[in-house]
Every structure is written in structure tokens, then in C-alpha cells.
């Protein structure tokens, strides 16, 4: 569909009656006009005969639902974006949002909203918030009866505006108010192995100090992913890294060009990905030779971790490194999302169409996409190398996620860390909300848990490092 037709379609509700009147005198329709005319006729019938009159907003929503319903039948990755959704899509790709910069959760003992961890370089950290602080009020409104998503909406807001939180700090037994100025928050897609003791806002990238094995976890392919992976590799190299683990488990993908950029960091040549359109034409992306140690499997052995939630751009990187013999793939078969979407923005730049325009193949020409009719025995996704598939129980998967989250937390230092802000202690009641006794106990972090996928990767790289 052309951008002009799309722009016309989203204005249909206001014009529906006018178009219906003119239809009798219209010239003989072309095939595309017939298709659009069908939609116009349906909307005209709704306008005239529905049991109640629709508001302008409801008419607009009806058109958007018709478009998205049809697109979803064609392809689950194609989508129409209205103005609000387009802004959110752009923000997601950039890895930014406006707020205070804190990961939020729910306290398992009381069910009250809590701070899981402030983010590095965030207003929340600067204001003195700590992990496990309970949020009793948001701008004077008690959080007892707030839904989680409702509380998040209240905390987020326009950059430069202020939100007042009433905080209970269980570790100190104090309750205080804190005013936090919202700002643009940068989400960092690269994580290391553990927070540095001397500076918890920064990462240590060595998972095995004795064997100098680095660990980099890439959670998504947002705008800063390439530069952050490169910076992490430099830090790991400065720490004496002799091998590297790239963990992309749970990575849903992102921008195609970033998957090419990141693959190129580890390859000194060869194809990265091949894309093909409806005419079986496309482009074959190749890696350049920068002469860095990270491009050599001999100098810097490498393992890539994937699981059933590793998709799209994550699969491009994994397949490129596997097909070029650069890295061993450890874990389980990936998701199988081998299609490329492009955005076509309307002339007013207030809406867009995200449409699947290409599919991609691995350097060796293998299919990655898992079609609706694909069987388990068919070729799709990225499979672990022979002998490196690791099946995990649901309990092991949960423990792995819990340990990843625990590693991300910026915890107070042993001496007590950041003190409560310089505000008077307020008279606020203890949390009244209690967890439903019929709910199952939340799974707790097992301090003795060993991630079997990581253990397999470390075992392989220790042998490589030892020669």
C-alpha cells in the first residue's frame, strides 16, 4: 500500500459519508480502488446503521484495528503505528525513556511497590534511592491499591518535571519524602558478570579470573548496542581476557544494522547475513578485517549463548559466528525469526507502517525463519553445536533469570551506602497491603545455583585457554 493511500485511509472516518455520496459518480475503479472502496463501504454502513453514534476517536480506532487485523493475518511482524505508538517504537529502538531511572518490582512480603535497583547515572541514584526501598506514596497518593502498571505511569513523565515519592527504607527503619526530577533515561543493553565492588554503577567483565574468561550479556539491539559491546571488549582486553562468552539468551533482537556491526567486531572476513526480497534479490553483508584480537578464533576463543527466546538480530549474530567457525553455540535452539521489517512513514510523520519486506539467510544460505507450518524437524532457528545443547528445567530457567537480575542490582555498599536524602522524616503508616495467602510462595534466589549453560561454556573455554 502506498504512503498516500495509507494517509488517506486513516482520515476515512471524517469523510465516510461524503465519499459514499460521491461514489455513484466516480470513474470506473481500478483493482486497488475497489479494495479501498470495500473498506469505505463498511465504514459508511457503520456510520449510518450502528446502534449508537461513534465518537471520532472510536472511528479512528476502528480503522486502525481494521488495518492491524489484516496485517496480522499477513504477517505477525507487520504493524500500523499511530502517532503515540510511533513515538514509543522510536524510543524503544533508541533505548531511551523519560522517568526517574529505577527498576521497579513488588515486595514479596507486603505486596508493596519497591525499588529493585536504581539505574547508573540516573535521577533515582542521584536522589539516594536504594535497592529494596518501598514506595508508599507517589505525589501523595498511596500505592496500596495501585496496580503495578498504574504506579509506573505515575512515576514516569515529561523530562524536567518532578515527582515526590514517600519511601520506607526497611534496612534503616526510616520513612522520608524525596523529590526527584525526571529526565531522559538511557537503557544500557550491555551487562557484565558482576558489579564492581569499588563502583557498583560499573561492570566487571571477567567471569573466570584465573583463566581470564570474559562475559558480556547483550539484552537487545538498541541504538547504543554496538558501541557498548565495543567498550566492554576494550575493558575485558585491558583486564587480560583470553576468551569471551557472549550471552544473548532472551535477546528479542532489534536493528539489523547493529547485528551486522556487532558480528563484524568478531569476524575478520566472510559473510555475515544474506537478505532476500520478493524478487529473490538482496544484499550479502560481509565482515571487514580490522586486525583485532577479537576477530581471531585462535587468539580469542569464543562461545555464544542462545535459548528459545533469542530472536532476530540475536540469531543473525549467532549464525554468522557459527557459520564462519568463529564461536561455539551453547544452549538451546533459538526462536526462528528470520524476517526483516522496514518502516514507511506517512507524509505528516505522525504515523507509519512497519512491513515485512525481506527474509534473511545465514552465511551458508540456511533458512532461519520459523513459518506457522514449520515442524520441529524442519530447518529454522540456530541450533547449538554438536555436544553443546543444554536442556534446562523450568526451575533452572527461573534461577538463571533471578541470578541475572541480582547481578544487575546496584546495591548499597557494606557501610550502609547512600544515606536517606536530606529531607525531614515523614509520618507515614507502615504498608497495609498484604500478599494473598492463597498465592504460592515466590521462588527465592538459590545462592548455590550453577547456571548449566554457563558451566558448559566455561568448561569449553577453559580447555581452549589451556591449549
Active site residue 312: yes
pLDDT computed for residue 73 by the predictor: 86
Residue 123 has pLDDT above 70, yes or no: yes
Average pLDDT over residues 202-215: 97
Q: Under CATH, domain 96-186 is a member of which superfamily?
A: PDZ domain (2.30.42.10)
Alpha-carbon distance of 391 to 275, in angstroms, equals 31
The residue from 59, 323, 339, 354 that is catalytic is 323
Which range is most confident: 53-62, 120-129, 379-388? 379-388
Nine-digit cell string for 296 = 581471531
The residue from 59, 137, 191, 337 that is catalytic is 337
pLDDT computed for residue 180 by the predictor: 94
Alpha-carbon distance of 199 to 112, in angstroms, equals 29
Lowest mean pLDDT among 23-37, 116-130, 378-392, 418-432: 418-432
Give the helix ranges, DSSP H, for 256-312: 256-266
In terms of C-beta density within 10 A (0-12 exposed, 13-18 middle, 19 or more buried), how is residue 209 classed? exposed
Closest CA to 178 of 202, 190, 162: 162
pLDDT digits (tens, 9 = 90+) for 36-73: 888 888 888 988 898 999 999 898 888 888 888 888 88
Alpha-carbon distance of 252 to 268, in angstroms, equals 26
Q: pTM surpassing 0.85? A: no
pLDDT computed for residue 466 by the predictor: 92
Neighbours of 140 (CB within 10 A): 8
Active site residue 121: no
Average pLDDT over residues 217-245: 96
pLDDT computed for residue 179 by the predictor: 94
Q: How far is CA 183 from the centre of its chain?
A: 20
Domain ranges of the chain: 3-74, 96-186, 190-389
Residue 450 has pLDDT above 90, yes or no: yes
Nine-digit cell string for 73 = 493475518
Q: What is the mean pLDDT of the chain?
A: 85
pLDDT computed for residue 377 by the predictor: 93
**Is it true that domain 190-389 has CATH number 3.90.226.10?**
yes
Higher per-residue confidence, 174 vs 244: 244
The residue from 122, 222, 310, 312 that is catalytic is 312
pLDDT digits (tens, 9 = 90+) for 292-334: 889 999 999 999 999 999 999 999 999 999 999 999 999 999 9
Active site residue 337: yes
Closest CA to 12 of 46, 40, 53, 41: 40
Confidence of residue 433 (pLDDT cuts 50, 70, 90): low
Measure the CA dihedral 366/314/295/93, to 10°.
130
Residue 24 has pLDDT above 70, yes or no: no
pLDDT digits (tens, 9 = 90+) for 127-146: 989 988 999 999 999 888 78
Amino acid at each position: 500500500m502506498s504512503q498516500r493511500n495509507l494517509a488517506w485511509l486513516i482520515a476515512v472516518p471524517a469523510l465516510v459519508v461524503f465519499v459514499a455520496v460521491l461514489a455513484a459518480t466516480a470513474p470506473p475503479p481500478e483493482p486497488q480502488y475497489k479494495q479501498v472502496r470495500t473498506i469505505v463501504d463498511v465504514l459508511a454502513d457503520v456510520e449510518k446503521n450502528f446502534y449508537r453514534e461513534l465518537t471520532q476517536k472510536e472511528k479512528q480506532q476502528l480503522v486502525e484495528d481494521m488495518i492491524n487485523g489484516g496485517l496480522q493475518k499477513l504477517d505477525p511482524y507487520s504493524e500500523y503505528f499511530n502517532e503515540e505508538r510511533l513515538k514509543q517504537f522510536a524510543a524503544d529502538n533508541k533505548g531511551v525513556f523519560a522517568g526517574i531511572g529505577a527498576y521497579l518490582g513488588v515486595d514479596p512480603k507486603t505486596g508493596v511497590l519497591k525499588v529493585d535497583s536504581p539505574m547508573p547515572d540516573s535521577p533515582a541514584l542521584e536522589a539516594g534511592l536504594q535497592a529494596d526501598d518501598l514506595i508508599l506514596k507517589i505525589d501523595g497518593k498511596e500505592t496500596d491499591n495501585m496496580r503495578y502498571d498504574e504506579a509506573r505511569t505515575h512515576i514516569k513523565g515529561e523530562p524536567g518535571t518532578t515527582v515526590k515519592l514517600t519511601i520506607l527504607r526497611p534496612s534503616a527503619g526510616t520513612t522520608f519524602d524525596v523529590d526527584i526530577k525526571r529526565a531522559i533515561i538511557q537503557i544500557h543493553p550491555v551487562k557484565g558478570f558482576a558489579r564492581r565492588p569499588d563502583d557498583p554503577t560499573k561492570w566487571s567483565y571477567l567471569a573466570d579470573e584465573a583463566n581470564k574468561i570474559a562475559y558480556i550479556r547483550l539484552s537487545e539491539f538498541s541504538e547504543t548496542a554496538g558501541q557498548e559491546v565495543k567498550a566492554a571488549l576494550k575493558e575485558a582486553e585491558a583486564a587480560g581476557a583470553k576468551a569471551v562468552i557472549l550471552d544473548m539468551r532472551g535477546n528479542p533482537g532489534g536493528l539489523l544494522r547493529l547485528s551486522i556491526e556487532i558480528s563484524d567486531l568478531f569476524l575478520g572476513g566472510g559473510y555475515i547475513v544474506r537478505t532476500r526480497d520478493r524478487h529473490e534479490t538482496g544484499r550479502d553483508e560481509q565482515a571487514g578485517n580490522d586486525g583485532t584480537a577479537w576477530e581471531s578464533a585462535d587468539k580469542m576463543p569464543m562461545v555464544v549463548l542462545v535459548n528459545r527466546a533469542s530472536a532476530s538480530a540475536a540469531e543473525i549474530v549467532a549464525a554468522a559466528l557459527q557459520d564462519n567457525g568463529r564461536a561455539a553455540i551453547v544452549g538451546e535452539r533459538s526462536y526462528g525469526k528470520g524476517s526483516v521489517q522496514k518502516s514507511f512513514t506517512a507524509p505528516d510523520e505522525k504515523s507509519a507502517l512497519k512491513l515485512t519486506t525481506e527474509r534473511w539467510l545465514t552465511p551458508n544460505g540456511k533458512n532461519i525463519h520459523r513459518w506457522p507450518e514449520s515442524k520441529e524437524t524442519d530447518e529454522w532457528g540456530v541450533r547449538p553445536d554438536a555436544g553443546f545443547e543444554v536442556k534446562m528445567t523450568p526451575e533452572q530457567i527461573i534461577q538463571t533469570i533471578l541470578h541475572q537480575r541480582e547481578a544487575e542490582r546496584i546495591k548499597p555498599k557494606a557501610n550502609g551506602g547512600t544515606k536517606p536524602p536530606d529531607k525531614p522524616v515523614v509520618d507515614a503508616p507502615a504498608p497495609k497491603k498484604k500478599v494473598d495467602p492463597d498465592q504460592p510462595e515466590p521462588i527465592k534466589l538459590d545462592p548455590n545455583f550453577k547456571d548449566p549453560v554457563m558451566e558448559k561454556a566455561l568448561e569449553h573455554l577453559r580447555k581452549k585457554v589451556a591449549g
